[in-house]
Structure 1
Amino acid sequence: MRIEIIKLLKKEGKLSDETINELKEININDFHHIVKEIGAKPTEHIKASEISKDLNTKWAGRNLYVFNEVSSTNTVAKFLAKNGAENGTVVLSEKQTDARGRSGKAWEAPLGGIWLSIIVKPNVDYSKLPMITIATGVAVAKAIERAGIQNAEIKWPNDIMLNGKKVCGILTEAVTQYNHIESVIIGVGIDANININEFPEELQEGTTTIAEELGRTEDENLLIRYFLEEFEKISTLFTEEKFEEILKEWRKRSYSIGKIVEVREPFSKFYDAYVVGIGKEGALIVEKIDGTLEKVISGECIIKN
Structure 2
Amino acid sequence: MKNEILNLLLKENKISKEAAEEFSIYDIDGLMNTIKNVGKEKTEHIQRDKIIDGLDSPLFKENIYVYKEVMSTNTLAKFFADQGQDEETVVISEKQTKGRGRSGKKWESPLGGVWLTMIVKPRIDQTKASLITLATGVAVANTIKSFGIENVEIKWPNDILIDGKKVSGILTEAVAKLNSIKYIVIGVGIDVSLENNKMSGDLKEEAISLNKASGAKVDANEVIKRFLKEFEIIFKMFEDEKYEEILKEWRKDSYSIGKYAKIRQPFGNSFDAYIIGINKEGTLIVEKADGTLEKVISGEFEIKD
TM-score band w.r.t. shorter chain: over 0.9
CA distance in 2: counterparts of 1:23 and 1:35, whole angstroms: 11
Amino acid corresponding to residue 304 of structure 1 in structure 2 = K
**Amino acid across the alignment from 1:45:** H
CA displacement, residues 234-277 of structure 1 (integer Å, 9 cap, x when unaligned)? 01111111111101111110000011122222236111111001
Q: Distance in 2 between matches of 1:216 and 1:130?
A: 35
Deviations 1:88-146 (A, max 9, x none): 21010001000000000001111010000011100334421221000000000000011
Does the aligned pair in 2 maintain the 1:273–1:289 contact within 8 Å? yes
Alpha-carbon distance in 1 for matches of 2:71, 2:262: 32
Shift in alpha-carbon separation, 1:230–1:278, aligned structure 2, 3 A: same
Normalised by the length of structure 1, the TM-score is 0.95
Shift in Å, 1:231: 0.3
| Aligned counterpart, 1:124 | 124
* TM value normalised by structure 2: 0.95
Give how far 1:2 is off: 1.4
Find the counterpart in structure 1 of residue 219 from structure 2: 219
Question: Per-residue displacement from partner, 1:3-40 (whole Å, max 9, x unpaired)?
Answer: 11111112122332333565785465651111101101
Moved more, 98-107 or 124-133: 124-133
What residue identity is the alignment partner of 1:212? K
Q: Which residue of 2 aligns with 1:210?
A: 210
One-letter code aligned to 2:79? F
Query: Partner of 2:225: helix, strand, or coil?
Result: helix
Residue of structure 1 equivalent to 2:6: 6
For the Cα contact (< 8 Å) 1:74–1:186, is it kept in 2?
Answer: yes
Q: Which moved more, 1:56-65 or 1:282-291?
A: 56-65
Asked whether the 8 Å contact 1:10–1:16 carries over to 2, the reply is yes
Aligned to 1:40: 40
The correspondence of residues 78-227 of structure 1 with structure 2, limited to 5 A, is: 78-178=78-178, 180-227=180-227
Return the letter of the residue paired with 1:205: E
Is contact 1:172–1:187 with CA below 8 Å preserved after alignment?
yes
- SS of 1:290's equivalent in the other structure is coil
For residues 32 and 225 of structure 1, do their structure 2 counterparts lie closer, same or farther at Cα, with a shift above 3 Å needed?
same
Q: Report if the CA contact (8 A) 1:59-1:87 is conserved.
A: no
Aligned position for 1:304: 304
Amino acid at match of 2:145: E
Q: 1:138 to 1:201 in 2, by over 3 A?
A: same
Q: Which runs of 5+ in 2 are unaligned?
A: none
Note if contact 2:120-2:185 (Cα within 8 Å) is conserved in structure 1.
Answer: yes
Letter in 1 for 2:35: V
Q: Secondary structure at the match of 2:302?
A: strand
Give the Cα separation in 2 of the matches to 1:62 and 1:167. Answer: 28
Mapped partners of 1:83, 1:181: distance in 2: 16
Q: Is the 8 A contact 2:124 2:239 kept in 1?
A: no
Number of aligned residue pairs: 305
Q: CA deviation at 1:203?
A: 1.3
What do residues 201-255 of structure 1 show as CA deviations (whole Å, max 9, x unaligned)? 4311000010011112101111111110000000111111111110111111000
Gaps of 5+ in 1: none
